[in-house]
Every structure is written in C-alpha cells, then in structure tokens.
Amino acid sequence: MRKFKVAITIRSFGLNIYEKNEFAEKFEILYRNTTGRRLSERELSQVLRGVEGVIAGTEPFTKEVIESLSDLKVISRVGVGVDSIDLETARKYGIKIMNTPEAPVQAVAEHTLALILDLLKHIATYNQKMRAKDYSIEPGQILSGKQIGIVGLGRIGYRVAMLLAAFGCKINYYDPWVKIRVPDEWQSDSTLDQLLMKSDIVSLHLPPQENGKPLLDEISLKLIKKGAIIINTARGSLIDEESLCKALLSGQIGGAGLDVFSVDPYTGPLLKYPQVIATPHVASNTLESRNQMEIEAVHNLITAIKEEP
C-alpha cells in the first residue's frame, strides 16, 4: 500500500507520539515546519509541492497558494477556526477541510476567565511592581455580580458563560444564530449595541466577520458602558485596535484582555497600556488540549485518506 504524502506546516507539533503507530504506517512526511514561526504564502507554495495532505495551523492557505498545489486533497487544521483558508477555492478544487472544534474549548474558556480575573485583581501589575520594589496599591474588583456580555454563544462562548455564572455573574448574550438551549436565567440581547451598553465585561467568541471589518469599531466602543472590560480570545480582526487605544486613553474602556491581534507577533501600541493584559495567541495552548487537538487532527487526516478513492 502506497503511503500518503503529507506535510506538517503548523509551527509546533508533537510528532514523536505518532511516529510508531498508524501515522507512520500510512503517511510519508515530505515537510515539517521547524522554523518556530508561521509560514508565509510563498513558503507554503514552495514546501507543499507534491503534498496530498497537510496538518495545518493558521498559515495563509489563500487562493494563490491552493491553486499552486495541484496534488493537495486534505487540510487538517489543528484548532477551530478555518478563516485562514480560502474555503471557496478549496471547494472548487475538491479539497477537504477538517478541524478540531472540541479539544480547545475548556482551555480557551479558562484562559478567558484568567484574563478577566487578572484585570479585576491587577495580578500582573502587582507582580511587576513588586519586582521593581514598588508597593503601591489600587483597589481591585469582585467578579461576582458583574454583568457579562457574551458575543457568540458557540462551544467556547457557552463554556465561558457557564464558568462565569458559577462565580455569580449575570449572563447576557448576543448571538442571532444560537442553536442550543440556554439556562432560563441567561438573557438574550436582540442587538449588539444593547449588550454593549449594559455589560461590565464583554467577551468575544465568534469568527471574523465576512467582510473582515471589526465588530467593535470607533462607534460601538463609544456606546459601550463606561469603564467596561473587553476580552478577545477569538480573532484579532474583531476589534479596531486604533479605536481601542483611544477608548483606553479616554477611560471609556477600563481594560482589555487580548490573546489575539491584527498581526502575529504583535508589537503595536496596545502593549503600552498598563490596563491591557496581552498574551501571544496561546489560549488553547495547554498540554492537555494541545495533545487532544493534535490527536484529532491526525485522526481527521487518516479518516479523510480512507475516504479517498
């Protein structure tokens, strides 16, 4: 039986756990990303020549990249989002797109909660101050009783809401396409503006908008409840970063916990604000969830190959 030719383009992948099992039996690895960074479009087009299946991260599988890879049949994504892939072009050429939607849910939800608690309790700030022998203090806030606005009540948004409800928070959500049953005490808002105007904490859990424009722009940030906290562990394009800087400077926004940005790695002006807690797109990067995502990605690839004629 011939081996299926594959590549691993994601910047980190625990291949050692698969080398002696079904992965090694079925696949010949033509390329593995050892650069420690996300590959560019040009690099993808070069290293994936002759490849039939890819285990991918958030690399840009654009129209140009896909059209340059005549042998490609499957992209198995380690993670949830597929917005880095031109789905229309993939469908045109019959390329299967698979992802791992369940594995990162708990990790991202916990990371969201950690960002919220850090902002309310000033933990990172105190840590820095004490190391600089600065023992000045400022009052924190209690999470219990806060009005939470969840934007996007999918798997992760729902899990975040459950965690926050356990802290005694009041849950509001905005999601016109919600398909799951929610607890009776959670309140649905008919518009995003309605949610923004009353929420103490707004947490984003949705894919990028189709037009790529920010969900929270200058206008919506002016509508938000003064002093509110914004959390984004979803996609950087959901927030207009320049407008967020202005809102932080004016005090309209009290703080922001951000795991995603417009570019990766991010070195922009938001890092200058002490009321911003920033992490480098690592919300799902726990040992447990990462391992599960990789296992699911491999199983997805194996399943796709079995379906090939």
pLDDT in tens, 103-151: 899 999 999 999 999 999 999 999 999 999 999 999 999 999 999 999 9
pLDDT score for 302? 86
Measured N-to-C along each axis, helices 105-121 and 287-306 cross at an angle, to the nearest 10 degrees, of: 150
Do 98 and 16 lie in one domain? The reply is yes
pLDDT score for 114? 98
pLDDT score for 22? 66
Do 93 and 129 lie in one domain? The reply is no
CATH number (domain holding residue 133): 3.40.50.720
pLDDT score for 19? 47
pLDDT score for 305? 79
- Give tens-digit pLDDT for 27-86: 888 999 999 888 999 999 999 999 999 999 989 999 999 999 999 999 999 988 888 999
Do 117 and 80 lie in one domain? The reply is no
Do 61 and 200 lie in one domain? The reply is no
Q: Taking the model in full, what pTM does it have? A: 0.85
Do 18 and 131 lie in one domain? The reply is no
- Say yes or no to pLDDT of 292 above 80: yes
Say if CB 201 and CB 148 are below 8 A apart.
yes
Do 232 and 255 lie in one domain? The reply is yes
Split into its structural domains, the chain has a count of 2
Sequence-separated (6 or more) residues with CB below 8 Å from residue 187:
170, 171, 172, 173
- Say yes or no to pLDDT of 197 above 90: yes
Interatomic CA distance for residues 95 and 199, integer angstroms: 42
Largest CA distance in the chain: 69
b/e map 82-114, b = 16+ CB within 10 Å:
bebbbeebbeeeebbbbbbbebbbbbbbbbbbb
In the block, which residue shows the tokens 């791992």? 100
Q: Give the β-pairing of 228-232 and 170-174.
A: unpaired
Tell me how many degrees the CA angle 105-281-209 measures, rounded to the nearest 5.
Answer: 75
pLDDT score for 83? 86
Do 51 and 69 lie in one domain? The reply is yes
pLDDT score for 271? 97
Do 164 and 98 lie in one domain? The reply is no
Do 132 and 264 lie in one domain? The reply is yes
Rounded mean pLDDT, 188-200 = 97
Do 70 and 191 lie in one domain? The reply is no
With cut-offs at 50, 70 and 90, classify the pLDDT of residue 1: low
- Say yes or no to pLDDT of 15 above 60: no
- Give tens-digit pLDDT for 212-265: 899 999 999 999 999 999 999 999 999 999 999 999 999 999 999 999 999 988
pLDDT score for 211? 83
pLDDT score for 56? 95
Do 127 and 204 lie in one domain? The reply is yes
With cut-offs at 50, 70 and 90, classify the pLDDT of residue 18: low
By residue range, what is the domain housing residue 74? 4-103+287-306
pLDDT score for 12? 83
pLDDT score for 246? 97
Do 90 and 116 lie in one domain? The reply is no
